[in-house]
Amino acid sequence: MDEFASIRHWTADRQGENWQQRRGVVRGIGDDTAVVDAALAEDGVASPKRLLLAVDTMVETVHFKQSTMRDEDVGYKALAANISDIAAMGGMPLHALVSVSVPPAYTPERMRRLYDGLYECAERYGVAIVGGDTTSSPGQLVVAVTVTGTVEAGRELLRSGAKPGDAVFVTGAVGKSAAGLHALLAQEREQRAGERLSPAEFSGTGEELLVLAHQRPNPSVRAGRLLQECGSCRSLNDVSDGLASEAWEIAEASKLRLVLNEALLPRSGSLAAYAAKVGIDPLEWMLYGGEDYVLLGTMDSQDADGMRAVFHEEGLPFFIIGETEEGEPGVVLASGSQSQGDKRGPSTHSCRRIELKKRGYNHF
Amino acid sequence: MDEFASIRHWTADRQGENWQQRRGVVRGIGDDTAVVDAALAEDGVASPKRLLLAVDTMVETVHFKQSTMRDEDVGYKALAANISDIAAMGGMPLHALVSVSVPPAYTPERMRRLYDGLYECAERYGVAIVGGDTTSSPGQLVVAVTVTGTVEAGRELLRSGAKPGDAVFVTGAVGKSAAGLHALLAQEREQRAGERLSPAEFSGTGEELLVLAHQRPNPSVRAGRLLQECGSCRSLNDVSDGLASEAWEIAEASKLRLVLNEALLPRSGSLAAYAAKVGIDPLEWMLYGGEDYVLLGTMDSQDADGMRAVFHEEGLPFFIIGETEEGEPGVVLASGSQSQGDKRGPSTHSCRRIELKKRGYNHF
């Protein structure tokens, strides 16, 4: 198949013309560039919005292997990772362009499955696929996805807005994706190399949720919008590279320290059970496991309870996990006993404070 | 160097804050996404413009080798190819995002040189680099660049607008890049493999212009703007994949035939000289050699002379090379004697007409 025939095979009849028009698409796949309405109106009314632009790349053997991700998972996750970047700005994702460098091993049918996953994610998050580029690759599959999104002008949630005394929050459990990857790699070692695994094969073991978290992550678009609308969120990041690493990015951009309270970190039941089963400290995955795509941020501590209520009303998790303080940029994990103050006197702290390293996430 | 340090090393102090602000950049490299002004105002005044989005990818050993492109050439050309897509819509390029998948052989210094070339191209065409993604690569270097641009709403120059009886034009000589690649590969065979070559080494041989055309192509942004402004250009494409292939794209999108007159195809002197020297028919390069990044299009034939005058005034080349006609989509090369009509009677045609294949451009 030539390039155009391939692209048609992957993309035709996926997103209707009307569906794309509602997203401002004037001309999608098939010309030199896509054409989208710069006014980016909603309901036909121009609004003072800004454009968000991001690109994220997945490389075979670096970010995934055939034994950890099916082709459709690769497509789904490549787009999901990008949508998560838009969510981390408090924005709404709109358009995507897909660049694939395809090695010979990827047959048209495999690529079709990859696009199945990509369009599944696009439909779920209302993203219009408007273009791309296809090249051959002598080595690994490389998928680079670019996304656009919009955000109300001046209301984008940057990493640099945190202030001392802010509450630090996270919008979901962390470490599940890394634990899921561990389960997939463990199963690979027990089986023939190269055999594909799916969450279904973990069904009933309690590990399917971890595998699903790794293969089909859910970017936190709604959570990002709630945080953007509330007006008291001061900094925001998505947890793509591990909680410690993302906290470091906020600390450095905002020039302060984040103190995370170990006891407040949300623990997933399936994560705890799997960690106990394989004899690994779940904290390692929670701090240094990437690709959970929940949001980590800071906000005015006075509004934290109200924010939790808003999230609760929407059925979304929200956890206060620490606070910010002045000082050299860094991230601290506080643990150990901490008695709340009562009538007899002030609170006493006998915390251990460990400086967390900046280290990011390595897949393999 | 970690990812952020690398990105700083490649990008810091390249484009001033004011320079980026004038291009609507609110937040460039360094957060989850870039933030750009969706109003895309020029001189602070909002105008009814549309956003153009395109991505183009270069893969080592598929699109270039160390013996044909220096690292800085790779960076320059990766962006230039994208800018050319914006030019082919009649638009103005604005922003770029850069995704690089970096194999171990690419030291920080080599990547720095790649970014030198990238920023050189960005400066030349006024493009703001606003983001990107960096991953490792176990195999080849992969550079995927995404660009945005703007075009006056409803005035974008698509491939699908050609009408029967249009004049077919091209905005410069074709085949030079492919001939330059041939010269580089010939020199590689004579030398030690892997040694880097530059246009300077061809200096005085007459081939340096061909090598330069291959390593440092000039996208035709100004030409695209002139065609967009004139109002009589009906279809447009950039010659990235060879004249025949691009003509086919217009033919299929517009559902008609393009008849190219061999005698009217612009021939570069350096191309003719080099072709004679190595005993190759230059027509092969002119029809099937890619990456010249001139523009191929069709326009109302009555306005063709006026358009030529406009281009002439700007010091830009412009050649009428054929016409469109009704029929099954296809591309024809007409050649042979053709006597102009004179007082004694109508013109007589004794042309050979060859159907050109759809075949695109292969580098190696």
Of the CATH numbers 1.10.10.350, 3.40.50.880, 3.90.650.10, 3.40.50.970, which one belongs to the domain with range A167-355? 3.90.650.10
The arrangement of strands across the sheet holding A352-355 comes to A233-238, A295-299, A167-170, A319-325, A257-261, A330-335, A352-355
Residues A145-188 have pLDDT tens digits of 999 988 887 888 999 999 999 999 999 999 999 999 999 999 88
Contacts of A150 in chain B (CB under 8 A): 38
| Superfamily of domain B3-152, CATH level 4 | PurM-like, N-terminal domain (3.30.1330.10)
Closest approach of B155 to chain A, Cα-based (Å): 11
Q: What is the pLDDT of residues A304-339, one digit of tens each?
A: 999 999 999 999 999 999 999 999 999 999 997 555
Contacts of B57 in chain A (CB under 8 A): 99, 101, 133, 135, 144
Note the pLDDT of residue B87: 95
Neighbouring-strand partners of residue A335: A352
Q: With H, G, I as helix, E, B as strand and everything else as coil, classify residue A9.
A: helix
Q: CATH 3.90.650.10 occupies which residues in chain B?
A: 167-355
**CATH 3.30.1330.10 residue spans of chain B:** 3-152
Using pLDDT thresholds of 50, 70 and 90, give the confidence band for residue A349.
Answer: low
Amino acid at A74: V
Best B6, B31, B293 residue to mutate vs chain A (most A CBs within 10 Å): B31
**A89 contact residues in B (CB cutoff 8 A):** 31-33, 35
- CB–CB of A32 and B253 under 8 A? no
**Cα gap B197→B175, rounded to integer Å:** 20
**At A314, which amino acid appears?**
E
Kindly indicate the confidence band of residue A195, based on its pLDDT and cuts at 50, 70 and 90. Answer: low
A57's enclosing H/E stretch is: strand A49-59
- Closest Cα in chain A to B34: A53
Q: Provide the pLDDT confidence category of residue B20 given band limits of 50, 70 and 90.
A: confident
Q: Tell me the CA distances in angstroms from B210 to B202, B206, B240, one per residue in order.
A: 9, 8, 16
- Provide the shortest C-alpha distance from residue A22 to chain B (in Å): 15
- pLDDT of B246 > 90? The answer is yes
What pLDDT is recorded for position A342? 45
End-to-end CA distance of chain B: 34
Q: Give the one of A31, A88, A237 whose C-beta lies nearest to B159's C-beta.
A: A31
The position carrying tokens 């984040």 is A258
Label residue A363 by pLDDT band (50, 70, 90). confident
Give A282→chain B minimum CA distance, Å: 26
Crossing angle of the two packed helices B208-215 and B176-190, in degrees rounded to 10: 110
